[in-house]
Protein backbone atom coordinates (compact mmCIF):
# COMPACT_ATOMS: atom_id res chain seq x y z
CA UNK A 1 0.00 0.00 0.00
CA UNK A 2 1.21 3.50 -0.87
CA UNK A 3 2.75 5.35 2.06
CA UNK A 4 2.86 2.23 4.24
CA UNK A 5 5.85 2.06 6.56
CA UNK A 6 8.29 -0.81 6.27
CA UNK A 7 7.42 -1.97 9.81
CA UNK A 8 3.67 -2.04 9.06
CA UNK A 9 4.27 -3.84 5.79
CA UNK A 10 6.39 -6.44 7.51
CA UNK A 11 3.73 -7.03 10.18
CA UNK A 12 1.02 -7.40 7.51
CA UNK A 13 2.64 -10.41 5.87
CA UNK A 14 3.71 -12.24 9.05
CA UNK A 15 1.86 -14.98 10.90
CA UNK A 16 -0.05 -14.12 14.12
CA UNK A 17 2.80 -15.56 16.21
CA UNK A 18 5.39 -13.50 14.38
CA UNK A 19 3.23 -10.40 14.76
CA UNK A 20 3.03 -10.87 18.55
CA UNK A 21 6.79 -11.29 18.73
CA UNK A 22 7.33 -8.18 16.61
CA UNK A 23 4.97 -6.09 18.76
CA UNK A 24 6.72 -7.33 21.91
CA UNK A 25 10.06 -6.34 20.39
CA UNK A 26 8.73 -2.86 19.65
CA UNK A 27 7.52 -2.42 23.25
CA UNK A 28 10.74 -3.84 24.65
CA UNK A 29 12.71 -1.22 22.77
CA UNK A 30 11.10 1.55 24.81
CA UNK A 31 13.21 3.16 27.56
CA UNK A 32 12.91 1.75 31.09
CA UNK A 33 11.25 4.85 32.50
CA UNK A 34 8.40 4.61 29.97
CA UNK A 35 7.91 0.88 30.60
CA UNK A 36 7.92 1.48 34.34
CA UNK A 37 5.34 4.24 33.98
CA UNK A 38 3.09 1.80 32.08
CA UNK A 39 3.54 -0.90 34.74
CA UNK A 40 2.56 1.57 37.48
CA UNK A 41 -1.08 1.39 36.33
CA UNK A 42 -1.50 -2.33 37.14
CA UNK A 43 -1.35 -4.44 40.30
CA UNK A 44 2.25 -5.07 41.33
CA UNK A 45 1.74 -8.84 41.37
CA UNK A 46 0.85 -8.68 37.67
CA UNK A 47 3.68 -6.25 36.88
CA UNK A 48 6.19 -8.69 38.36
CA UNK A 49 5.02 -11.39 35.97
CA UNK A 50 6.42 -9.35 33.07
CA UNK A 51 9.88 -10.42 34.28
CA UNK A 52 9.15 -13.79 32.64
CA UNK A 53 8.85 -12.29 29.17
CA UNK A 54 12.57 -12.06 28.46
CA UNK A 55 15.91 -11.03 29.92
CA UNK A 56 15.09 -7.48 28.86
CA UNK A 57 12.06 -7.47 31.20
CA UNK A 58 13.63 -9.30 34.15
CA UNK A 59 14.30 -6.23 36.30
CA UNK A 60 12.14 -3.54 34.66
CA UNK A 61 9.35 -3.76 37.26
CA UNK A 62 11.84 -3.14 40.13
CA UNK A 63 12.01 0.56 39.27
CA UNK A 64 8.31 1.26 38.71
CA UNK A 65 7.25 4.47 40.50
CA UNK A 66 4.12 2.89 41.98
CA UNK A 67 3.37 -0.27 43.95
CA UNK A 68 -0.09 -1.68 44.64
CA UNK A 69 -0.99 -4.68 46.81
CA UNK A 70 -4.34 -6.27 47.60
CA UNK A 71 -3.68 -8.46 50.64
CA UNK A 72 -6.93 -10.35 50.20
CA UNK A 73 -4.85 -12.31 47.70
CA UNK A 74 -1.25 -11.29 48.50
CA UNK A 75 0.47 -12.33 51.75
CA UNK A 76 3.20 -10.65 53.76
CA UNK A 77 6.15 -12.80 52.53
CA UNK A 78 5.42 -11.76 48.95
CA UNK A 79 5.33 -8.05 49.88
CA UNK A 80 8.53 -8.35 51.90
CA UNK A 81 10.31 -10.00 48.96
CA UNK A 82 8.98 -7.37 46.57
CA UNK A 83 10.21 -4.48 48.71
CA UNK A 84 13.61 -6.16 49.04
CA UNK A 85 13.98 -6.23 45.24
CA UNK A 86 12.60 -2.72 44.71
CA UNK A 87 15.33 -0.43 43.35
CA UNK A 88 13.75 2.97 42.71
CA UNK A 89 14.99 5.66 45.09
CA UNK A 90 11.76 7.65 44.62
CA UNK A 91 8.26 6.20 44.99
CA UNK A 92 5.33 8.21 43.63
CA UNK A 93 2.48 5.99 44.81
CA UNK A 94 1.85 3.09 47.20
CA UNK A 95 -1.52 1.38 47.69
CA UNK A 96 -2.21 -1.34 50.25
CA UNK A 97 -5.49 -3.12 50.98
CA UNK A 98 -5.02 -5.51 53.90
CA UNK A 99 -7.51 -7.55 55.91
CA UNK A 100 -5.22 -10.38 57.02
CA UNK A 101 -4.32 -10.26 60.71
CA UNK A 102 -0.95 -11.93 60.03
CA UNK A 103 0.09 -8.77 58.16
CA UNK A 104 -0.11 -6.56 61.26
CA UNK A 105 3.43 -7.33 62.54
CA UNK A 106 4.81 -6.21 59.16
CA UNK A 107 2.94 -2.95 58.77
CA UNK A 108 5.41 -0.77 60.67
CA UNK A 109 8.35 -1.99 58.59
CA UNK A 110 6.42 -1.45 55.36
CA UNK A 111 5.54 2.13 56.35
CA UNK A 112 9.15 2.77 57.34
CA UNK A 113 10.28 1.54 53.91
CA UNK A 114 7.80 3.88 52.17
CA UNK A 115 9.07 6.84 54.13
CA UNK A 116 12.65 5.98 53.17
CA UNK A 117 11.61 6.11 49.49
CA UNK A 118 9.87 9.48 49.90
CA UNK A 119 6.46 8.24 48.79
CA UNK A 120 4.15 11.07 47.63
CA UNK A 121 0.76 9.38 47.26
CA UNK A 122 -0.04 6.91 50.06
CA UNK A 123 -3.27 4.90 50.24
CA UNK A 124 -3.85 2.36 53.04
CA UNK A 125 -7.02 0.36 53.64
CA UNK A 126 -6.40 -1.56 56.88
CA UNK A 127 -9.13 -3.69 58.41
CA UNK A 128 -7.26 -4.35 61.66
CA UNK A 129 -8.80 -3.12 64.91
CA UNK A 130 -5.62 -3.79 66.85
CA UNK A 131 -3.25 -1.77 64.68
CA UNK A 132 -1.94 1.64 65.74
CA UNK A 133 0.10 3.77 63.36
CA UNK A 134 3.64 4.31 64.68
CA UNK A 135 4.74 7.83 65.57
CA UNK A 136 7.16 7.99 62.63
CA UNK A 137 4.09 7.69 60.35
CA UNK A 138 3.14 11.19 61.51
CA UNK A 139 6.54 12.73 60.76
CA UNK A 140 6.99 13.03 57.03
CA UNK A 141 8.03 15.63 54.49
CA UNK A 142 7.22 13.79 51.24
CA UNK A 143 3.59 12.63 51.34
CA UNK A 144 1.32 14.97 49.39
CA UNK A 145 -1.84 12.84 49.29
CA UNK A 146 -2.89 10.47 52.07
CA UNK A 147 -5.86 8.08 52.11
CA UNK A 148 -6.59 5.96 55.20
CA UNK A 149 -9.55 3.60 55.55
CA UNK A 150 -10.12 1.53 58.69
CA UNK A 151 -12.80 -0.96 59.64
CA UNK A 152 -14.52 1.65 61.80
CA UNK A 153 -11.55 1.45 64.17
CA UNK A 154 -9.97 4.24 66.21
CA UNK A 155 -7.37 6.59 64.78
CA UNK A 156 -5.40 6.72 68.01
CA UNK A 157 -3.86 10.01 69.03
CA UNK A 158 -0.12 10.10 68.27
CA UNK A 159 2.20 10.82 71.17
CA UNK A 160 4.52 12.91 68.99
CA UNK A 161 3.98 16.27 67.30
CA UNK A 162 2.53 15.76 63.82
CA UNK A 163 4.62 17.04 60.91
CA UNK A 164 3.07 16.44 57.49
CA UNK A 165 4.71 19.45 55.92
CA UNK A 166 3.90 18.61 52.28
CA UNK A 167 0.43 17.11 52.74
CA UNK A 168 -2.16 18.78 50.48
CA UNK A 169 -4.97 16.22 50.37
CA UNK A 170 -6.13 14.10 53.33
CA UNK A 171 -8.92 11.50 53.10
CA UNK A 172 -10.08 9.52 56.14
CA UNK A 173 -12.72 6.85 55.60
CA UNK A 174 -14.53 4.65 58.13
CA UNK A 175 -12.37 5.88 60.99
CA UNK A 176 -13.39 6.78 64.53
CA UNK A 177 -12.02 10.26 65.05
CA UNK A 178 -12.00 12.16 68.32
CA UNK A 179 -11.90 15.94 68.56
CA UNK A 180 -8.49 15.53 70.23
CA UNK A 181 -7.15 13.55 67.27
CA UNK A 182 -8.12 16.21 64.72
CA UNK A 183 -6.78 18.95 67.01
CA UNK A 184 -3.44 17.13 67.00
CA UNK A 185 -3.39 16.42 63.25
CA UNK A 186 -4.47 19.71 61.69
CA UNK A 187 -1.70 21.98 63.06
CA UNK A 188 0.83 19.59 61.54
CA UNK A 189 -0.60 20.07 58.02
CA UNK A 190 0.33 23.69 57.20
CA UNK A 191 -0.44 23.50 53.46
CA UNK A 192 -3.50 21.21 53.56
CA UNK A 193 -5.87 22.15 50.72
CA UNK A 194 -8.46 19.34 50.70
CA UNK A 195 -9.99 17.33 53.56
CA UNK A 196 -12.44 14.43 53.12
CA UNK A 197 -14.14 12.65 56.02
CA UNK A 198 -16.25 9.76 54.77
CA UNK A 199 -18.35 7.75 57.24
CA UNK A 200 -16.11 8.82 60.13
CA UNK A 201 -17.58 8.44 63.60
CA UNK A 202 -17.29 10.12 67.02
CA UNK A 203 -16.06 13.56 65.90
CA UNK A 204 -18.23 16.32 67.35
CA UNK A 205 -16.71 19.70 66.43
CA UNK A 206 -14.65 20.03 63.26
CA UNK A 207 -12.73 23.26 63.81
CA UNK A 208 -10.78 24.25 60.69
CA UNK A 209 -10.35 27.90 61.59
CA UNK A 210 -6.56 27.56 61.74
CA UNK A 211 -6.25 25.65 58.45
CA UNK A 212 -5.57 28.79 56.45
CA UNK A 213 -4.97 27.09 53.08
CA UNK A 214 -7.83 24.59 53.24
CA UNK A 215 -10.16 25.19 50.32
CA UNK A 216 -12.22 21.98 49.88
CA UNK A 217 -14.09 20.09 52.59
CA UNK A 218 -16.12 16.94 51.97
CA UNK A 219 -18.09 15.27 54.76
CA UNK A 220 -20.16 12.20 53.98
CA UNK A 221 -22.26 10.64 56.72
CA UNK A 222 -24.87 7.93 57.07
CA UNK A 223 -27.02 6.41 59.79
CA UNK A 224 -24.05 4.64 61.39
CA UNK A 225 -21.79 7.68 61.83
CA UNK A 226 -22.39 10.48 64.31
CA UNK A 227 -19.94 13.23 63.50
CA UNK A 228 -19.09 15.98 63.05
CA UNK A 229 -22.13 17.81 64.37
CA UNK A 230 -20.59 21.29 64.05
CA UNK A 231 -18.42 22.58 61.22
CA UNK A 232 -16.27 25.69 61.64
CA UNK A 233 -14.49 26.30 58.33
CA UNK A 234 -14.05 30.00 57.56
CA UNK A 235 -11.48 29.52 54.78
CA UNK A 236 -13.03 26.79 52.60
CA UNK A 237 -14.34 27.69 49.16
CA UNK A 238 -16.05 24.37 48.34
CA UNK A 239 -18.23 22.28 50.70
CA UNK A 240 -19.59 18.83 49.81
CA UNK A 241 -21.87 17.65 52.60
CA UNK A 242 -24.08 14.58 52.90
CA UNK A 243 -25.94 14.60 56.20
CA UNK A 244 -28.61 12.39 57.77
CA UNK A 245 -31.46 12.63 60.23
CA UNK A 246 -29.46 10.51 62.68
CA UNK A 247 -26.36 12.71 62.58
CA UNK A 248 -27.19 16.31 61.63
CA UNK A 249 -24.55 18.88 60.75
CA UNK A 250 -24.54 22.53 61.74
CA UNK A 251 -22.59 25.00 59.63
CA UNK A 252 -21.27 27.33 62.31
CA UNK A 253 -18.96 29.48 60.22
CA UNK A 254 -18.41 29.11 56.45
CA UNK A 255 -18.01 32.73 55.41
CA UNK A 256 -15.74 32.13 52.37
CA UNK A 257 -17.91 29.56 50.60
CA UNK A 258 -18.26 29.95 46.84
CA UNK A 259 -19.59 26.46 46.09
CA UNK A 260 -21.71 24.00 48.08
CA UNK A 261 -23.11 20.56 47.23
CA UNK A 262 -25.67 19.31 49.73
CA UNK A 263 -27.73 16.18 50.13
CA UNK A 264 -29.27 13.99 52.82
CA UNK A 265 -28.86 10.23 53.20
CA UNK A 266 -31.76 8.21 54.60
CA UNK A 267 -31.30 4.45 54.90
CA UNK A 268 -34.10 1.93 54.29
CA UNK A 269 -34.41 1.23 58.04
CA UNK A 270 -34.66 4.90 59.07
CA UNK A 271 -38.38 5.08 59.65
CA UNK A 272 -40.33 7.08 60.50
CA UNK A 273 -38.92 10.10 58.70
CA UNK A 274 -38.22 13.00 61.08
CA UNK A 275 -39.64 15.58 58.70
CA UNK A 276 -39.77 18.55 61.12
CA UNK A 277 -36.22 17.90 62.23
CA UNK A 278 -34.97 17.61 58.65
CA UNK A 279 -36.70 20.86 57.66
CA UNK A 280 -35.10 22.76 60.53
CA UNK A 281 -31.69 21.34 59.60
CA UNK A 282 -32.05 22.17 55.90
CA UNK A 283 -33.33 25.71 56.42
CA UNK A 284 -30.55 26.41 58.94
CA UNK A 285 -28.03 25.33 56.31
CA UNK A 286 -29.63 27.49 53.63
CA UNK A 287 -29.34 30.53 55.86
CA UNK A 288 -25.54 30.06 55.74
CA UNK A 289 -25.51 29.77 51.94
CA UNK A 290 -27.20 32.97 50.85
CA UNK A 291 -24.01 34.43 49.33
CA UNK A 292 -22.80 31.22 47.63
CA UNK A 293 -22.72 31.57 43.84
CA UNK A 294 -22.62 27.86 42.96
CA UNK A 295 -25.08 25.43 44.60
CA UNK A 296 -26.03 21.79 44.09
CA UNK A 297 -28.86 19.92 45.82
CA UNK A 298 -29.74 16.22 45.88
CA UNK A 299 -33.22 14.74 45.72
CA UNK A 300 -33.92 14.21 49.43
CA UNK A 301 -32.77 17.78 50.11
CA UNK A 302 -35.31 18.97 47.52
CA UNK A 303 -38.05 16.76 48.98
CA UNK A 304 -37.51 18.31 52.40
CA UNK A 305 -37.63 21.79 50.86
CA UNK A 306 -40.94 20.87 49.22
CA UNK A 307 -42.40 19.87 52.59
CA UNK A 308 -41.26 23.19 54.05
CA UNK A 309 -42.82 25.06 51.12
CA UNK A 310 -46.15 23.27 51.61
CA UNK A 311 -46.13 24.35 55.26
CA UNK A 312 -45.59 27.96 54.25
CA UNK A 313 -42.10 28.24 55.74
CA UNK A 314 -40.13 31.32 54.64
CA UNK A 315 -37.05 30.68 52.47
CA UNK A 316 -34.00 32.99 52.33
CA UNK A 317 -32.96 34.81 49.16
CA UNK A 318 -29.87 33.57 47.31
CA UNK A 319 -27.11 35.08 45.17
CA UNK A 320 -26.56 31.80 43.35
CA UNK A 321 -25.59 32.08 39.67
CA UNK A 322 -25.12 28.38 38.86
CA UNK A 323 -27.51 25.79 40.30
CA UNK A 324 -27.35 21.99 39.92
CA UNK A 325 -30.26 19.71 40.82
CA UNK A 326 -29.67 15.93 40.99
CA UNK A 327 -33.12 14.41 41.15
CA UNK A 328 -35.71 12.21 39.55
CA UNK A 329 -38.75 13.76 37.87
CA UNK A 330 -41.41 13.55 40.53
CA UNK A 331 -44.13 15.68 42.07
CA UNK A 332 -42.56 15.67 45.52
CA UNK A 333 -39.54 17.78 44.54
CA UNK A 334 -41.24 20.40 42.41
CA UNK A 335 -42.38 22.78 45.18
CA UNK A 336 -38.90 22.98 46.65
CA UNK A 337 -37.35 23.59 43.24
CA UNK A 338 -39.86 26.30 42.40
CA UNK A 339 -39.13 28.18 45.60
CA UNK A 340 -35.35 27.94 45.16
CA UNK A 341 -35.68 29.31 41.62
CA UNK A 342 -38.02 32.09 42.70
CA UNK A 343 -35.56 33.14 45.41
CA UNK A 344 -32.55 33.17 43.06
CA UNK A 345 -32.86 36.42 41.07
CA UNK A 346 -29.28 36.24 39.74
CA UNK A 347 -29.43 32.68 38.39
CA UNK A 348 -27.75 32.31 34.98
CA UNK A 349 -27.14 28.56 34.60
CA UNK A 350 -29.27 25.61 35.66
CA UNK A 351 -28.09 21.98 35.45
CA UNK A 352 -30.65 19.20 35.77
CA UNK A 353 -29.06 15.82 36.38
CA UNK A 354 -32.06 13.52 36.14
CA UNK A 355 -31.37 10.31 38.08
CA UNK A 356 -32.96 7.52 40.07
CA UNK A 357 -31.33 7.70 43.48
CA UNK A 358 -31.82 7.64 47.24
CA UNK A 359 -35.15 9.22 48.16
CA UNK A 360 -37.87 9.46 50.81
CA UNK A 361 -40.69 7.03 49.88
CA UNK A 362 -43.86 8.79 48.77
CA UNK A 363 -45.95 7.01 51.40
CA UNK A 364 -43.87 8.67 54.13
CA UNK A 365 -44.27 12.08 52.49
CA UNK A 366 -48.03 11.62 52.21
CA UNK A 367 -48.30 10.55 55.85
CA UNK A 368 -46.45 13.67 56.94
CA UNK A 369 -48.44 16.19 54.88
CA UNK A 370 -51.67 14.51 56.01
CA UNK A 371 -50.55 14.98 59.63
CA UNK A 372 -50.20 18.71 58.84
CA UNK A 373 -53.81 18.90 57.65
CA UNK A 374 -52.81 18.97 53.95
CA UNK A 375 -54.54 16.77 51.36
CA UNK A 376 -51.79 14.57 49.83
CA UNK A 377 -53.90 13.97 46.71
CA UNK A 378 -53.94 17.69 45.88
CA UNK A 379 -50.86 19.29 47.41
CA UNK A 380 -48.29 18.01 44.92
CA UNK A 381 -49.86 19.78 41.95
CA UNK A 382 -47.74 22.76 40.86
CA UNK A 383 -49.25 26.21 40.34
CA UNK A 384 -49.51 25.86 36.58
CA UNK A 385 -51.53 22.65 36.93
CA UNK A 386 -48.88 20.04 36.13
CA UNK A 387 -49.59 16.75 37.88
CA UNK A 388 -47.24 14.04 36.70
CA UNK A 389 -47.21 10.33 37.35
CA UNK A 390 -45.57 10.17 40.77
CA UNK A 391 -43.82 6.87 40.09
CA UNK A 392 -40.09 7.59 39.84
CA UNK A 393 -39.54 4.67 37.48
CA UNK A 394 -42.38 5.27 35.03
CA UNK A 395 -41.78 8.70 33.50
CA UNK A 396 -43.30 9.54 30.14
CA UNK A 397 -41.53 11.82 27.63
CA UNK A 398 -44.12 14.55 28.12
CA UNK A 399 -43.26 14.64 31.83
CA UNK A 400 -39.60 15.35 31.06
CA UNK A 401 -40.62 18.21 28.77
CA UNK A 402 -43.15 19.56 31.27
CA UNK A 403 -40.56 19.45 34.04
CA UNK A 404 -38.02 21.40 32.00
CA UNK A 405 -40.53 23.95 30.71
CA UNK A 406 -41.58 24.68 34.28
CA UNK A 407 -37.94 25.33 35.25
CA UNK A 408 -37.48 27.78 32.37
CA UNK A 409 -40.75 29.53 33.17
CA UNK A 410 -40.04 29.92 36.88
CA UNK A 411 -36.73 31.77 36.54
CA UNK A 412 -36.55 35.05 34.62
CA UNK A 413 -32.77 35.51 34.32
CA UNK A 414 -31.76 32.03 33.12
CA UNK A 415 -29.35 31.98 30.16
CA UNK A 416 -28.39 28.31 29.91
CA UNK A 417 -29.90 24.98 30.95
CA UNK A 418 -27.86 21.77 30.86
CA UNK A 419 -29.91 18.56 31.12
CA UNK A 420 -28.18 15.26 31.82
CA UNK A 421 -30.47 12.32 31.08
CA UNK A 422 -29.41 9.11 32.77
CA UNK A 423 -30.14 5.54 31.74
CA UNK A 424 -33.52 5.00 30.07
CA UNK A 425 -34.22 8.73 30.02
CA UNK A 426 -31.93 8.95 27.01
CA UNK A 427 -34.78 7.92 24.71
CA UNK A 428 -36.48 11.26 25.47
CA UNK A 429 -33.66 13.33 24.05
CA UNK A 430 -35.16 13.95 20.61
CA UNK A 431 -38.56 14.99 21.96
CA UNK A 432 -37.07 17.29 24.59
CA UNK A 433 -34.76 18.93 22.06
CA UNK A 434 -37.57 19.48 19.58
CA UNK A 435 -39.96 20.98 22.13
CA UNK A 436 -37.61 23.34 23.93
CA UNK A 437 -35.49 24.46 21.00
CA UNK A 438 -38.08 27.17 20.26
CA UNK A 439 -37.06 29.07 23.38
CA UNK A 440 -34.76 31.85 22.19
CA UNK A 441 -33.84 33.24 25.61
CA UNK A 442 -32.36 30.08 27.13
CA UNK A 443 -29.67 27.90 25.58
CA UNK A 444 -30.58 24.21 26.04
CA UNK A 445 -27.81 21.58 26.18
CA UNK A 446 -28.76 17.88 26.39
CA UNK A 447 -26.53 14.92 27.18
CA UNK A 448 -27.01 11.29 28.16
CA UNK A 449 -25.00 9.51 30.84
CA UNK A 450 -24.50 5.86 31.87
CA UNK A 451 -26.73 4.59 34.67
CA UNK A 452 -25.07 5.00 38.09
CA UNK A 453 -25.96 4.16 41.66
CA UNK A 454 -26.74 7.22 43.75
CA UNK A 455 -26.69 7.22 47.51
Torsion of Cα atoms, 189 then 194 then 199 then 205, to 10°: 60
Average pLDDT of span 124-142 = 90
- 14 or 95, which is more confident: 95
Output the pLDDT for position 356. Answer: 76
- Cα separations in angstroms, 186 against 73, 182, 192, 239, 254: 35, 6, 8, 18, 18
Output the pLDDT for position 74. Answer: 65
- 379 or 187, which is more confident: 187
CATH architecture of the domain covering 289-455: Alpha-Beta Horseshoe (3.80)
Contact 145, 121 (CB under 8 A): yes
> Helix, strand, or coil here: 113?
helix
Output the pLDDT for position 450. Answer: 61
- 63 or 431, which is more confident: 63
Q: What is the pLDDT of residues 259-295, one digit of tens each?
A: 999 998 887 666 677 888 888 889 989 999 999 999 9
Identify the H or E element spanning 327. strand 322-327
Q: What is the pLDDT of residues 64-122, one digit of tens each?
A: 999 998 876 668 888 999 999 999 888 999 999 988 778 888 999 999 999 999 999 99
| pLDDT above 60 (res 12) | no
* Range list of β-strands (E), 155-309: 163-164, 169-176, 194-198, 205-207, 216-220, 230-232, 238-244, 250-253, 259-265, 294-298
- 440 or 135, which is more confident: 135
| pLDDT above 80 (res 386) | no
Q: What is the pLDDT of residues 226-257, one digit of tens each?
A: 667 889 999 999 999 988 777 677 888 999 99
- 248 or 324, which is more confident: 324
| pLDDT above 80 (res 303) | yes
Residue ranges of alpha helices (H) inside 94-248 are 104-116, 179-185
* Rounded distance between C-alpha atoms, residue 194 and residue 214, angstroms: 6
Burial 71-90 (b: 16+ CB within 10 A, else e): beebebeebeebbeebeeee
Q: Supply the DSSP symbol for 28.
A: H
- What predicted TM-score, i.e. pTM, was given to this entire model? 0.84
Taking the domains of the chain in order of start, what are their residue ranges?
Answer: 289-455
- 317 or 366, which is more confident: 317
Amino acid sequence: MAGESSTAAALRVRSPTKIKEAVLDLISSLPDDILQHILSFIQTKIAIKTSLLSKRWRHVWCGTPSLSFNCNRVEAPFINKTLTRYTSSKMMSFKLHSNLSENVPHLDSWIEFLMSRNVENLSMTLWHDEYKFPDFFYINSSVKQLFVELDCADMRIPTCSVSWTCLKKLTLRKCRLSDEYMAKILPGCPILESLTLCSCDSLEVLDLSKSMRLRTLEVERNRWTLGPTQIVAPHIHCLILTSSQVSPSTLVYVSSLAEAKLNIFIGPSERPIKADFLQDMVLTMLAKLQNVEKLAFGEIFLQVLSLAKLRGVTFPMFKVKALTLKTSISQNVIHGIERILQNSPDLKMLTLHIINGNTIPEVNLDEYVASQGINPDLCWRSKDGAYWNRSRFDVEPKHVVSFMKLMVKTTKTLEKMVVKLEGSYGRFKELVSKTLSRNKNVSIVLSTMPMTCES
